């Protein structure tokens, strides 16, 4: 388990900045003017920061930093000068926090934030810094002795110095729960499939019970009784039992129907009998990314005691080739009753989601549904790794989600649904088939799911295949699991259900 760095709040006035150890972070504004804390450090270091901002190379943009190593006059190993740029917004704050995280040397971090920006922006900056410090090292047997990695994220303290530390702490509160949820998601996604089996995943979710989430794990016998044959067919070649896990957070009024969050949780996707090529297959440990996001959101909602009713439903299965595995050509009956012709056993996510969507509607009569899935390579071809594509049946709900995504920086692009795409998945032998050919692969997958959504239920499908992992590190995450999607859904719950 990876813990976020804890943040402590202190009054900046009267604090001896010369004595801060580790990293001392100070700020300049867009005009290169030093904040009071930066001015104090400038005096202590004999004018080094004044020279830095006077250099024409110094562009005061979000994310610009300058590092002084072992400067004389202060105890810190590094003084980092940062700037939020002109008229900073939430995105600028996140970019700056991420840039500071990347500039850090070993040891604790002190941020002298008095006079930098309002408390909300400073909180978002500190949040981004904490997110960028994530480092999954559960399987590293040797502790790094030097460099920034020598301090695990949970051991590194962040001291936030502010004009009003109590107001700063209040502004940070909303982000503390979010950081824990994002780390929970990232840990799940980074776990290898030999460790994170369907059962190990379910156990981690059962532990959310301690936070007040009602967790229920359905096994294969129960799923068989429910008729979840589409989901079970995907997992029948694996030694790990298939599961549906239901997580309920009932923080709202009794009479309010819940928002349902649905997640694809394929703990490993070999493709099954329609096996994937070897190259890059190891990345398919992330094919439970949708379930990972749903789980992270449930954790956030419980930690911050959200005043909303939300139910998370995830399907945990492993797609393996085996004597018992499903084959191309098989026809299975879904929980809804519709029959599915399996053209390609690698199009397994939609079969899992078909039963999850139906189960969630039958049991919980949700007011709205959002599903997340690493569903198609076609989505990655369409939008790359920069944005996730989403599909929606209801324009108002789509607008609410888009606003939440915009505010939190989870970048998205709306994709179309439509009858001609649904035509592509008509089957000669059954009601539908599980692939619709190469063209519009992400959309035909969405239309497959659409068939399992009842008329009138506002539904959003988010294909996160391209954004669940990142290969170079971003402003908010190091290389690997991104935690993409947790922030926007938390924001959606706030705005739509708690507003």
| Residues annotated as catalytic (active site), given as ranges | 276, 350
CB 125 within 8 Å of CB 96: yes
Selected from 12, 29, 42, 269, the binder of Zn ion by CB under 5 A is: 269
Beta carbons within 8 Å of 187's beta carbon, 6+ residues apart: 1, 2, 136, 138, 481
Token match 């379930």: residue? 291
Pick what 463 binds: ligand BES, Zn ion, Mn ion, none; C-beta below 5 to 8 Å, kind-dependent: none
Question: Site mask, ligand BES, residues 388-427, x = CB under 6 A?
Answer: ----------------------------------------
Does 339 sit near ligand BES (CB under 6 A)?
Answer: no
Q: Nearest residue by C-beta to ligand BES?
A: 377
Count of residues of this chain found to bind Zn ion when the rule CB under 5 A is applied: 4
CB 264 within 8 Å of CB 368: no
Selected from 131, 182, 196, 378, the binder of ligand BES by CB under 6 A is: 378
CB of 429 to Mn ion, least distance (A): 22
Q: Which stretch binds ligand BES (CB under 6 A): 81-89, 167-175, 371-379, 420-428?
A: 371-379
CB 278 within 8 Å of CB 385: no
Which residues inside 275-334 make contact with ligand BES, applying CB under 6 A?
287
CB of 278 to Zn ion, least distance (A): 16
Token match 């979000």: residue? 62
Does 318 sit near Mn ion (CB under 5 A)?
Answer: no
Token pair listed for 393: 């049946």
Q: How far, in Å, CA of 446 to CA of 427, rounded?
A: 16
Q: Distance between alpha carbon 58 and the CA centroid of its chain, in Å?
A: 33
Beta carbon nearer to ligand BES, 287 or 400: 287
Q: How far, in Å, CA of 432 to CA of 416, rounded?
A: 20
CB 294 within 8 Å of CB 312: yes
Sign for the pseudo-dihedral over CA of 306, 363, 496, 403:
positive
Beta carbon nearer to ligand BES, 265 or 296: 265
Element at 388 (helix H, strand E): strand 388-392
Does 190 sit near ligand BES (CB under 6 A)?
Answer: no
Does 269 sit near Mn ion (CB under 5 A)?
Answer: yes
Q: Work out the end-to-end distance of the chain between its first and last CA atoms, rounded to an integer number of angstroms.
A: 32
Which residues inside 249-268 make contact with Zn ion, applying CB under 5 A?
266
CB of 465 to Zn ion, least distance (A): 8
Helix axes 349-364, 441-450, angle to 10 degrees: 30
CB 115 within 8 Å of CB 62: no
Question: Site mask, ligand BES, residues 148-187, x = CB under 6 A?
Answer: ----------------------------------------
Does 287 sit near Zn ion (CB under 5 A)?
Answer: yes
Does 180 sit near Zn ion (CB under 5 A)?
Answer: no
Does 371 sit near Zn ion (CB under 5 A)?
Answer: no
Token match 């945990």: residue? 316
Pick what 376 binds: Zn ion, ligand BES, Mn ion, none; C-beta below 5 to 8 Å, kind-dependent: ligand BES
CB 60 within 8 Å of CB 83: yes
Q: Which of 58, 122, 131, 61 is nearest to 93 (CA)?
A: 122
**b/e per residue 113-146 (b: at least 16 CB within 10 A):** bbbbbebbbbbbbbbbbbbbbbbbeeeeeeeeee
Question: Site mask, Mn ion, residues 211-250, x = CB under 5 A?
Answer: ----------------------------------------
Does 77 sit near ligand BES (CB under 6 A)?
Answer: no
Token match 């960028």: residue? 132
CA quadruple 381, 386, 392, 396: dihedral, nearest 10: -160
Does 110 sit near ligand BES (CB under 6 A)?
Answer: no
Does 465 sit near ligand BES (CB under 6 A)?
Answer: yes
Does 346 sit near Mn ion (CB under 5 A)?
Answer: yes
Beta carbon nearer to Mn ion, 440 or 493: 440
Strand order, beta sheet including 432-433 = 331-333, 339-341, 432-433
CB of 379 to Zn ion, least distance (A): 12
Selected from 441, 480, 483, 485, the binder of ligand BES by CB under 6 A is: 441
Question: Site mask, Zn ion, residues 321-360, x = CB under 5 A?
Answer: ----------------------------x-----------
Token match 């053209």: residue? 343
Q: Which stretch binds ligand BES (CB under 6 A): 47-55, 330-338, 375-383, 421-429?
A: 375-383
CB of 377 to ligand BES, least distance (A): 3
What is the length of the chain?
Answer: 499
* Diameter of the chain measured on Cα atoms: 81
**Residues found near Zn ion in the complex (CB under 5 A):** 266, 269, 287, 349
**Residues found near Mn ion in the complex (CB under 5 A):** 269, 346, 348
**Residues found near ligand BES in the complex (CB under 6 A):** 269, 287, 344, 346-349, 374-378, 380, 435, 441, 465
């Amino acid at each position: 388990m990876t813990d976020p760095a804890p943040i402590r709040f202190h009054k900046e006035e009267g604090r001896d900045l010369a004595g801060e150890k580790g990293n001392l972070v100070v700020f300049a504004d867009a005009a290169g003017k030093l904040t009071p804390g930066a001015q104090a450090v400038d005096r202590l270091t004999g004018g080094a920061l004044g020279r830095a901002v006077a250099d024409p190379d110094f562009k005061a943009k979000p994310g610009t930093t300058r590092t002084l190593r072992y400067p004389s006059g202060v105890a810190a190993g590094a003084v980092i000068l940062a700037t939020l740029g002109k008229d900073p917004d939430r995105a600028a704050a996140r970019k700056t926090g991420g840039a500071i995280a990347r500039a850090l040397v070993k040891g604790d971090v002190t941020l002298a934030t008095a006079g930098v920006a309002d408390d909300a922006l400073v909180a978002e900056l500190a949040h981004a810094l904490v997110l960028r410090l994530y480092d999954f090292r559960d399987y590293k047997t040797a502790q790094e002795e030097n460099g920034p990695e020598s301090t695990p994220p949970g051991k590194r303290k962040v001291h936030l110095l502010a004009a009003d530390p109590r107001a700063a702490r209040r502004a940070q509160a909303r982000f503390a729960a979010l950081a824990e949820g994002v780390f929970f998601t990232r840990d799940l996604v980074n776990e290898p499939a030999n460790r994170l089996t369907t059962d190990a995943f379910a156990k981690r979710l059962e532990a959310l019970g301690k936070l007040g989430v009602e967790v229920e794990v359905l096994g294969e016998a129960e799923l068989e009784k429910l008729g979840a044959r589409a989901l079970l067919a995907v997992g029948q070649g694996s030694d790990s039992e298939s599961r549906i896990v239901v997580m309920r957070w009932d923080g709202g009024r009794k009479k309010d129907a819940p928002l349902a969050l649905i997640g694809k949780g394929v703990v490993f996707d070999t493709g099954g009998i329609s096996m994937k090529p070897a190259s890059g297959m190891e990345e398919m440990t992330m094919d439970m990314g949708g379930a990972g996001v749903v789980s992270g959101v449930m954790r956030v909602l419980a930690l911050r005691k959200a005043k909303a009713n939300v139910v998370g439903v995830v399907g945990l299965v492993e797609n393996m080739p085996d004597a018992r595995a499903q084959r191309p050509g098989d026809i299975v009956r879904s929980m809804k009753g519709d029959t599915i012709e399996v053209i390609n056993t690698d199009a397994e996510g939609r079969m899992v989601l078909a039963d999850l969507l139906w189960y969630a509607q039958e049991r919980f009569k949700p007011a709205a549904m959002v599903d997340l899935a690493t569903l198609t390579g076609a989505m990655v071809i369409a939008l790359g790794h920069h944005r996730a594509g989403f599909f929606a049946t209801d324009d108002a709900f789509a607008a609410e989600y888009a606003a939440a995504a915009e505010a939190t920086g989870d970048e998205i692009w709306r994709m179309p649904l439509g009858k001609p795409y649904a035509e592509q998945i008509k089957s000669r032998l059954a009601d539908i088939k599980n692939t619709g050919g190469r063209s519009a692969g992400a959309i035909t997958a969405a239309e497959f799911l659409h068939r399992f959504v009842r008329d009138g239920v506002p539904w959003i499908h988010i294909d996160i295949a391209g954004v669940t992992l990142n290969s170079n590190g971003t402003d908010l995450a190091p290389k690997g699991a991104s935690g993409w999607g947790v922030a926007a859904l938390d924001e959606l719950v706030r705005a739509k259900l708690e507003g």
